[in-house]
């Protein structure tokens, strides 16, 4: 018998291991792989027996990796990601004309997509695919070349290039502003507020915004909406006051659909970045998109900043 060239454990077992490690949950892995929990457990036990060490620690909320499991997951995930890249390249036939970019729904609908016609005029043969999700866990990293994200940077597995910063302030419809002319930051808790039921860890709520304005220890009620764009539409429809992110809502301000209310303004706790996986080279299409995004970011930075309150 000819000995197998690669001394590898079961590929099925590695697939199961990767899914459980990525989700941190046997239940979610069973749903993704469409197998029973018993089958998942058998594969994991067989791998642990082959390696002679435990790969997971069971917790009340799921599972977490042991040091050995963490080391194995880094290699398996990188290998599967590269195989997926090559598979897509073979299927597409021409990697130079296709690129997938991931963003939040807000960044895509209110900043990126409205600018895309200019890119298509320059590069009509490039196909741009968009992945939208508010939480990074909902992305499939192996399918994404570029990503626009907001945060403090420091993503160790990614190359990061800063794009622009942002400011936050209360916004409402012109009619609402006229009815509440002279309102101050201290008056905001008494007004109908629109908040966003967000999942991103850096999202700013009304509680945090009021603290920025020196308003604390006051109860208030806020209507909660599921998306930033929905909150902006509700504010434009005269339903209350929302927290606007300046870079995202500038077109609505310019069209007169929204106006600022009070002098409260503060910088967003982070920066927008363009990122990609450090271990993956960018395709020709991705390089073209990367350069164009930086052009748009430079134009964004050249816009005059909003008038800031003293001390900001």
Confidence (pLDDT) at 84: 76
pTM above 0.85, yes or no: no
Provide DSSP, 192-222: -EEEE---STTPPPHHHHHHHTT--S----E
CB 153 within 8 A of CB 160: yes
Q: Residue 305 and residue 251: Cα distance in Å, rounded?
A: 14
Strand stretches in 104-166, DSSP E: 127-132, 146-151, 158-164
How far, in Å, are 128, 209, 232, 247 from residue 168 at the CA level? 30, 8, 13, 9
The mean pLDDT value for 22-45 works out to 88
pLDDT digits (tens, 9 = 90+) for 111-153: 999 999 999 999 998 989 888 876 555 566 667 899 999 988 8
Confidence (pLDDT) at 26: 85
Domains, in order of start, for the chain: 11-92 (1.10.10.10), 98-164+271-302 (3.40.190.10), 166-267 (3.40.190.10)
Q: How far is CA 20 from the centre of its chain?
A: 22
pLDDT digits (tens, 9 = 90+) for 198-250: 656 667 889 999 999 998 767 788 888 888 999 999 999 999 999 999 999 99
Confidence (pLDDT) at 3: 60
Locate all alpha helices (DSSP H) within 93-194, ordered by sequence: 105-107, 116-122, 174-179
**Tokens standing for residue 172:** 């409402």
């Amino acid at each position: 018998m000819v000995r197998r060239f690669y001394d590898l454990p079961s590929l099925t077992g590695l697939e199961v291991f990767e899914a459980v490690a990525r989700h941190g949950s046997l239940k979610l892995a069973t749903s993704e792989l469409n197998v029973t929990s018993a089958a998942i457990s058998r594969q994991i036990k067989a791998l642990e027996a082959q390696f002679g060490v435990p790969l997971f620690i069971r917790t009340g909320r799921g599972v977490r990796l042991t040091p050995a499991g963490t080391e194995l997951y880094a290699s398996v995930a990188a290998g599967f990601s590269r195989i997926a890249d090559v598979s897509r390249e073979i299927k597409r036939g021409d990697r130079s004309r296709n690129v997938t970019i991931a963003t939040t729904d807000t960044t895509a609908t209110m900043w990126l997509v409205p600018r895309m016609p200019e890119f298509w005029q320059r590069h009509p043969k490039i196909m741009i695919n968009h992945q939208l999700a508010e939480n990074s866990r909902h992305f499939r990293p192996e399918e994404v070349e570029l990503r626009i994200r907001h945060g403090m940077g420091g993503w160790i597995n990614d190359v990061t290039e800063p794009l622009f910063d942002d400011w936050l302030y209360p916004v409402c419809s012109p009619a609402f502003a006229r009815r509440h002319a002279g309102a101050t930051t201290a008056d905001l808790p008494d007004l109908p507020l629109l908040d966003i039921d967000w999942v991103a860890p850096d999202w700013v709520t009304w509680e945090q915004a009021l603290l920025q304005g020196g308003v604390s220890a006051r109860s208030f009620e806020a209507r909660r909406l599921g998306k930033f764009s929905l909150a902006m539409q509700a504010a434009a429809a005269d339903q209350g006051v929302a927290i606007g992110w300046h870079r995202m809502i500038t077109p609505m301000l310019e069209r007169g659909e929204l106006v600022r209310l009070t002098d409260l303004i503060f910088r967003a706790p982070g920066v927008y970045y363009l990122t990609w996986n450090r271990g993956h080279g960018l395709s020709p299409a991705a390089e073209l998109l990367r350069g164009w995004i930086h052009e748009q970011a430079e134009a964004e930075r050249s816009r005059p900043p909003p008038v800031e309150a003293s001390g900001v």
